[in-house]
Amino acid sequence: MTPVAETITITDLDQLSINTIRTLSMDAVQQAKSGHPGTPMALAPLVYTLWNRVMRFDPQNPIWPNRDRFVLSNGHASMLLWSVLHLTRTQAVNADYEKVGHASVTLDDIRSFRQRDSKAPGHPEYHWVSGVETTTGPLGQGIATSVGMAIAQKWLANRFNRPGFPIFDYRVYAVAGDGCMMEGIGSEAASLAGHLGLDNLCWIYDNNHITIEGHTSIAFSEDVAMRFLAYGWRVLRVSDANDIERIQHSLEKSRNNTGSPTLIVLDSHIGYGSPHKQDTAEAHGEPLGDDEIRLTKRTYGWPEDAKFLVPDGVYEHFEDGIGKRGANAREEWSQLFEAYRSQYPDLASEIDHMQRRELPDGWDRNLPVFLADPKGIAGREVSGKVLNVLAQNIPWFLGGSADLGPSNKTLLTYEGAGHFQANNPGGKNLHFGIREHSMGAVLNGLALSKLRPYGATFFIFSDYERPAIRLSSLMELPTTFVFTHDAMGDGEDGPTHQPVEHLASLRAIPGLVTLRPGDANEVVEAYRYILQLRHQPAVLVLSRQPLPTLDRTRYAPATGVARGAYVLADAPGANPEIILIATGSEVSVAVDAHEKLLADGIRSRVVSMPSWDIFEYQTPEYRASVLPPNVEARIAIEQASTFGWERYVGPKGRVIGMTTFGASAPLKELQRKFGFEPARVTAIAKELLGRG
């Protein structure tokens, strides 16, 4: 092995800083007895160069809006990030976006890497550690999210920059391993980024030929560089991951490149410097062991027995590099922004609102109200009208579909809405192509950039997007996932297109708000609720077919949506003996059944329950008022898996739902076949009450 110092012409402080990142990573993983030392050892020079020499990032203010973004898509290498956040003395920010004046990651955090409450957890976690731009760990998500961040920068620049005022001109860097390159989501995202010519985006591919099972030749033999050239990316190669001058040169080339994103293929050696573990899969995810650590430190010219050592001069070296450069850039930007504020107060105020995730005044003006109509209107149609209103009221509200715009009704059709393309970065209609998974991640990237994004596809394909939805919730982002064709409404398409288990599966994601509104006014109220969320994503599940618009002079107002479930129609004296609980298209089935039961002298109540999640946020008193514990005869009606409904119908209740896949037939016949008809509801109600 060539000693590090001979391979490159760097000053001692550069090398000292790089080896500090390496040894902190090795020591932390050893101490935790778990983690991933090899990649931080290999990529320390890259991360050092990017942070200390290239990135515009102010450690004193890690949320400065025009900072360069850094995404560690190979999240298992988190010690890279914890080391560099520590060495740059990046400050922590609290949830209200105010600086709180202490270090984001302390040396003690690193000493307790992966332990409870440590700010150096196993993988990068947005919202838990300041300086983390997005949560990573599920491979491929980070790079796909970075595409959303790059789209956001282009959009923000188009909206806000003015001659002499480059308010948004930041760049997005993402580091990815073989795993990110193998995952489909990475390919989808790269294809989209190439199409959009996102020249503000630079991915660095850690080409070490190692994954968990060994050499990549067992499963991965394509030419990645050629693939990216075909996507329309600029591809650069650095054949020695220790050559920080070449790394810097490539990063600068990427910065000066126009019209395409850049991939830097960086040939590296996992576990660099370890005499017995370098270039092996063991270096990926196991502690090196005390003996090997000693030998490796000897290779680095490091005191063998020192642990968690930050040599004199290293903090200062980062302070002289990224510290000064970042502070100057931010200071200049702040001055620029103050001048901008006096010249363009309205635009500046928009930026303020966005940063705090606040909505502009009048954000909900002109939202439609729908009058009673037995023929009704489809959930997706209403959604399309609402989206067009919201997008005009909220400048930074934008989105699109994964090629199903005409079916999802998500197209923004008002004058000037525009279509986002390389040559039209101000467009508010995004075209994701048939790439649901990366659409989800791109939405997250947009939301992380403080835009309010929505993305749509058929509900059945929420499966293709689910990992990104889950991360959205984990990150507490206000992202809106619009799904149409919510159940068997596209009957003839058959079981491949009929969701069954999807509601249950999304309801199971912690923090996610899932809503299935029952008529036009419930759709409007669902959007009104969603838009006011600042730290939660929402899933909106909408019908393809028209749903009767309920007569709200007769039944309770749709504002009840904001409570998750509400008494829509009640028994005389609000004294029910049976409760019908329904969502979406089954609400009107329940109402029909209810009217028949009343006519037969049965005291029924209908509860419209568009959202389990929101209902669970209500007080126990409210919940008991909607579902009184003493009324045990209950029927839930939902064209989806029965899974989970026991909690609301109780041991004596019944669920009219799905326990099989659907079938290919016209909707009416499917409703008959699977029993979503008022007559079945009334029959079961009478059976439950023993009045058959």
Ligand X SMILES: Cc1ncc(C[n+]2csc(CCOP(=O)(O)OP(=O)(O)O)c2C)c(N)n1
Cβ proximity to Mg ion, 178 vs 519, nearer residue: 178
What does the alpha-carbon distance between residue 648 and residue 638 come to, in Å, rounded to a whole number?
12
Q: Are 30 and 194 in contact (CB under 8 A)?
A: no
Q: Are 163 and 93 in contact (CB under 8 A)?
A: no
Q: Residue 498 binds which one of ligand X, Mg ion, none, with CB within 5 to 8 A depending on kind?
A: none
Choosing from 120, 139, 263, 329, the residue that interacts with ligand X (CB under 6 A) is: 139
Provide the minimum distance between the beta carbon of 211 and Mg ion in the complex, in angstroms, as a whole number: 5
SS (HEC) of 21-83: HHHHHHHHHHHHCCCCCHHHHHHHHHHHHHHHHHCCCCCCCCCCCCCCEEEECCHHHHHHHHH
Q: Residue 138 binds which one of Mg ion, ligand X, none, with CB within 5 to 8 A depending on kind?
A: ligand X
Rama region for 117: left / alpha / beta (φ>0; ψ in -120 to 50; rest):
left
**Helix (H/G/I), strand (E/B), else coil: 465:** coil
Cβ proximity to ligand X, 75 vs 518, nearer residue: 75
Active-site entry in 183, 282, 286, 436:
436
What does the alpha-carbon distance between residue 204 and residue 248 come to, in Å, rounded to a whole number?
12
Choosing from 22, 171, 269, 284, the residue that interacts with ligand X (CB under 6 A) is: 284
What does the alpha-carbon distance between residue 148 and residue 153 come to, in Å, rounded to a whole number?
9
Provide the minimum distance between the beta carbon of 687 and ligand X in the complex, in angstroms, as a whole number: 48
Choosing from 45, 148, 179, 427, the residue that interacts with ligand X (CB under 6 A) is: 179
Q: Which residues contact residue 69 at a Cβ distance below 8 angstroms, ignoring those fewer than 6 apart? A: 133, 146, 149, 170, 171, 172, 173
> Could you please report the per-residue DSSP string of 204-262?
EEEE--EETTEEGGGT--S-HHHHHHHHT-EEEEES-TT-HHHHHHHHHHHHH--SS-E
Choosing from 14, 68, 133, 178, the residue that interacts with ligand X (CB under 6 A) is: 178
Rama region for 515: left / alpha / beta (φ>0; ψ in -120 to 50; rest):
beta
Q: Is residue 121 at the binding interface for ligand X, with CB under 6 A as the rule?
A: no
Q: Are 119 and 104 in contact (CB under 8 A)?
A: yes
Provide the minimum distance between the beta carbon of 348 and ligand X in the complex, in angstroms, as a whole number: 41
| Site size with ligand X, rule: CB under 6 A | 19
Cβ proximity to Mg ion, 72 vs 589, nearer residue: 72
Cβ proximity to Mg ion, 87 vs 175, nearer residue: 175
- Lookup: tokens for 317: 């070296």
- Is the dihedral angle over the CA atoms 75, 78, 80, 86 positive or is it negative? positive
> Could you please report the per-residue DSSP string of 338-393?
HHHHHH-HHHHHHHHHHHTTPPPTTTTTT------EEEEEEHHHHHHHHHHHHHHH
Q: Residue 638 binds which one of Mg ion, ligand X, none, with CB within 5 to 8 A depending on kind?
A: none
Cβ proximity to ligand X, 138 vs 657, nearer residue: 138
Choosing from 137, 518, 576, 657, the residue that interacts with ligand X (CB under 6 A) is: 137
Closest residue to Mg ion, judged by C-beta, is 178
The DSSP secondary-structure symbol of 415 reads: T
Provide the minimum distance between the beta carbon of 468 and ligand X in the complex, in angstroms, as a whole number: 11
Span near ligand X by CB under 6 A; candidates 26-34, 90-98, 178-186, 457-465: 178-186
Q: Is residue 278 at the binding interface for ligand X, with CB under 6 A as the rule?
A: no
Choosing from 35, 124, 138, 445, the residue that interacts with ligand X (CB under 6 A) is: 138
Provide the minimum distance between the beta carbon of 74 and ligand X in the complex, in angstroms, as a whole number: 5
Provide the minimum distance between the beta carbon of 217 and ligand X in the complex, in angstroms, as a whole number: 13
Chain residues that interact with Mg ion, rule: CB under 5 A: 177-178, 208, 210
Cβ proximity to ligand X, 96 vs 222, nearer residue: 222
Q: Is residue 425 at the binding interface for ligand X, with CB under 6 A as the rule?
A: no
Q: Residue 563 binds which one of ligand X, Mg ion, none, with CB within 5 to 8 A depending on kind?
A: none
Q: Draw the binding track, 316-345, toward ligand X (x: CB under 6 A; -: no contact).
A: ------------------------------
Strand partners, 421: 424
Cβ proximity to ligand X, 202 vs 526, nearer residue: 202
Provide the minimum distance between the beta carbon of 281 and Mg ion in the complex, in angstroms, as a whole number: 9
SS (HEC) of 566-587: EEEECCHHHCCCEEEEECCCHH
Q: Are 516 and 504 in contact (CB under 8 A)?
A: no
Provide the minimum distance between the beta carbon of 209 and ligand X in the complex, in angstroms, as a whole number: 8
Cβ proximity to Mg ion, 284 vs 502, nearer residue: 284
Cβ proximity to Mg ion, 211 vs 472, nearer residue: 211
What are residue 4's phi and psi, to 5 degrees?
Answer: -55, -45
Q: Which amino acid does the sequence have at 327?
A: A
Q: Residue 76 binds which one of ligand X, Mg ion, none, with CB within 5 to 8 A depending on kind?
A: ligand X
Q: Is residue 212 at the binding interface for ligand X, with CB under 6 A as the rule?
A: yes
Distances (CA, A) of 511 to 478, 479, 508, 520, 536: 11, 12, 9, 25, 6
What does the alpha-carbon distance between residue 692 and residue 684 come to, in Å, rounded to a whole number?
9
Q: Draw the binding track, 72-101, toward ligand X (x: CB under 6 A; -: no contact).
A: --x-xx------------------------
* Subset of 13-42 contacting ligand X (CB under 6 A): 39
Give catalytic status of residue 669 as yes or no. Answer: no
Provide the minimum distance between the beta carbon of 210 and ligand X in the complex, in angstroms, as a whole number: 5
Choosing from 131, 177, 376, 427, the residue that interacts with ligand X (CB under 6 A) is: 177
Q: Is residue 208 at the binding interface for ligand X, with CB under 6 A as the rule?
A: yes
Span near ligand X by CB under 6 A; candidates 153-161, 208-216, 356-364, 376-384: 208-216
Cβ proximity to Mg ion, 177 vs 326, nearer residue: 177
Q: Is residue 211 at the binding interface for ligand X, with CB under 6 A as the rule?
A: yes
* Subset of 45-74 contacting ligand X (CB under 6 A): 74
Q: Residue 39 binds which one of Mg ion, ligand X, none, with CB within 5 to 8 A depending on kind?
A: ligand X
Q: Which of 78, 170, 95, 169 is nearest to 132 (CA)?
A: 78
Q: Residue 475 binds which one of ligand X, Mg ion, none, with CB within 5 to 8 A depending on kind?
A: none
Provide the minimum distance between the beta carbon of 210 and Mg ion in the complex, in angstroms, as a whole number: 5
What does the alpha-carbon distance between residue 180 and residue 219 come to, in Å, rounded to a whole number?
14
Choosing from 55, 143, 264, 270, the residue that interacts with ligand X (CB under 6 A) is: 270
Cβ proximity to Mg ion, 46 vs 681, nearer residue: 46
- Is the dihedral angle over the CA atoms 404, 406, 408, 413 positive or is it negative? positive
| Consecutive H or E run containing 189 | helix 184-196
The DSSP secondary-structure symbol of 279 reads: T
Q: Is residue 148 at the binding interface for ligand X, with CB under 6 A as the rule?
A: no
Cβ proximity to Mg ion, 210 vs 266, nearer residue: 210
Q: Which of 554, 532, 105, 623 is nearest to 315 (CA)?
A: 105
Intra-chain end-to-end CA distance of the chain, in Å: 86
Distances (CA, A) of 30 to 23, 77, 111, 112, 306: 10, 14, 10, 11, 13
Provide the minimum distance between the beta carbon of 142 and Mg ion in the complex, in angstroms, as a whole number: 14
Closest residue to ligand X, judged by C-beta, is 177
Provide the minimum distance between the beta carbon of 216 and Mg ion in the complex, in angstroms, as a whole number: 7
What does the alpha-carbon distance between residue 633 and residue 629 come to, in Å, rounded to a whole number?
10
Span near ligand X by CB under 6 A; candidates 176-184, 375-383, 397-405, 606-614: 176-184
Annotated catalytic residues are 436
Would you tell me which residues interact with ligand X (CB under 6 A)? 39, 74, 76-77, 137-139, 177-180, 183, 206, 208, 210-212, 270, 284
